[in-house]
Amino acid sequence: MSNYTERVLKMVKDRNPGEVEFHQAVEEVLESLNPVFEKHPEYEENGILERLVEPERQIIFRVPWVDDQGQTQVNRGFRIEFNSALGPYKGGLRFHPSVYTGIVKFLGFEQIFKNALTGRPIGGGKGGSDFDPKGKSDQEVMRFCQSFMTELARHIGDKTDVPAGDIGVGGREIGYLFGQYKRIKNRYEAGVLTGKGLDWGGSLVRTEATGYGLVYILEEMLKENDLSLNDKKVVISGSGNVAIYANEKVTQLGAKVVAMSDSSGYLYDETGIDLELIKEIKEVNRGRIKEYLEEYPEAEYSEDYSDIWSIDCDIALPCATQNEMDAVGAQKLIDNGVIAIGEGANMPLTSDAVKLVKDNGVFFIPGKAANAGGVATSAIEMTQNAMFDEWTFDKVDQELQKIMVNIYKNASKVAAKYGLKGDLAAGANIAGFLKVANAMLDQGVV
């Protein structure tokens, strides 16, 4: 690393002790920016990096609620408004017991560059809570969401900060959050949240968007290298929204998904996973992936979910959570001849895994580019809300495809320009950085 990036990374580590995921996300971006600072001293002269790594605003709040037994529960709520150079803060809310400042900051930091890559006017932010929706009743989830929004409402707005879903936050939670926001503000401000229901301001394709977008960019990359998805064997970790719709699109395009997982274990079905059954288990019943065996007893199930990467495949799509693939997992994929890895989740590969994958010539699409389809379609939802309009499925889907192809083209062009041809991760970091940094330069020291 150059002096500048090294100095800023050290400052981040000193100033944010213990926030290891945030350190990892910052290091990954800063490492690729050295060629930029060599060419452009103005960024260092204007303290762009020092400002970029410090969130504009961090909100931490108490979320009290009463459970079904009448007991008072207290969770911690977060909203980190990281960067508004390109537009209102934009990014999801994550409800998961692992959520703390380090996770929200890593996600918010990633979101700045991801959102810049979409080409839409959205800044970066993220939020959430250590609340665990697993095993909670509908009523408990509703009371929690109402309490969470009672505080959050004063900080957000359709031109200020626009939250959406992430792990543990889907259509149900967005509904409860929106209802409470409307009640507090007495305003039908549709564009204050995205991922809304289709009858009340939501956009077609938003549910499918992250998974579909991942496959669109993957397809583009394969096409550019004279390859295709046809007859490829695919392993997808996770079985949430991203994993399900990545499976759907990759299958439509001729590939076969042989494995999926949840936080209890993974499923291997060599004849191809029955996606309709997974949807029923996960989307309708909120159940465990293991229940698949009740209908397909010949499928295999293992509780060692991280071992999913030992399955022989052409393409691996980690769509579960951060750091789910380490160097051991990556090495197994490489030994089995994997061609491409696309990050459906945010930062699913550890730094060691990324290095190994790159060193072994595996095509790698980083999360900032690969999973940007979700937030891009959120921006399309905001556009429709602002226009008082509703677009057709095809119109939104075509727009999403265009955005994903552009992200691929832009990241590969920028990588080549900086002497890093084929390194999409560096290309995505540099392209995202340049857009945000130039806006920050234009807007002065703020």
Residue numbers annotated as active site: 126
Closer to ligand GLU by CB, 118 or 147: give it: 118
Q: Is 378 annotated as a binding residue?
A: yes
Burial class (CB in 10 A: 0-12, 13-18, 19+), 155: middle
Rounded to a whole number of angstroms, the minimum distance from the CB of residue 232 to ligand GLU is 25
Instruction: Extract the runs of DSSP E, i.e. beta strands, from 96-173.
Output: 124-129, 161-164
Instruction: Decide if 161 contacts 93 (C-beta within 8 A).
Output: no
Torsion of CA 346, 348, 219, 436, to 10 degrees: 40
Q: Is 134 helix (H, G, I), strand (E, B) or coil?
A: coil
The pair of structure tokens assigned to 357 is 């994958």
Size of the site for ligand GLU (CB under 6 A): 10
Q: Is 351 annotated as a binding residue?
A: no
In the list 90, 233, 282, 368, the residue contacting ligand GLU (rule: CB under 6 A) is 90
Q: Is 392 annotated as a binding residue?
A: no
Instruction: Decide if 31 contacts 1 (C-beta within 8 A).
Output: yes
Q: Is 114 annotated as a binding residue?
A: yes
241 binds ligand GLU (CB under 6 A): no
Please name every residue paired with 127 in a beta bridge, in sequence order, or none if there are none: 79, 93
Closer to ligand GLU by CB, 84 or 194: give it: 194
Instruction: Decide if 91 contacts 126 (C-beta within 8 A).
Output: yes
Rounded to a whole number of angstroms, the minimum distance from the CB of residue 254 to ligand GLU is 27
Amino acid, res. 317: L
Neighbours of 300 (CB within 10 A): 13
346 binds ligand GLU (CB under 6 A): yes
* Residue closest to ligand GLU when measured from CB atoms: 92
Rounded to a whole number of angstroms, the minimum distance from the CB of residue 112 to ligand GLU is 11
DSSP string, 390-445: ---HHHHHHHHHHHHHHHHHHHHHHHHHTT-TT-HHHHHHHHHHHHHHHHHHHT--
Q: Is 111 annotated as a binding residue?
A: yes
92 binds ligand GLU (CB under 6 A): yes
Site map 374..403 versus ligand GLU, x via CB under 6 A: xx--x-------------------------
Rounded to a whole number of angstroms, the minimum distance from the CB of residue 314 to ligand GLU is 26
194 binds ligand GLU (CB under 6 A): yes
Touching ligand GLU, residues 159-178 (CB under 6 A): 164, 166
Q: Is 398 annotated as a binding residue?
A: no
Binding residue numbers for substrate: 90, 111, 114, 165, 378
Residue numbers belonging to the annotated binding site: 90, 111, 114, 165, 210, 241, 378
Residues that bind ligand GLU (CB under 6 A): 90-92, 164, 166, 194, 346, 374-375, 378
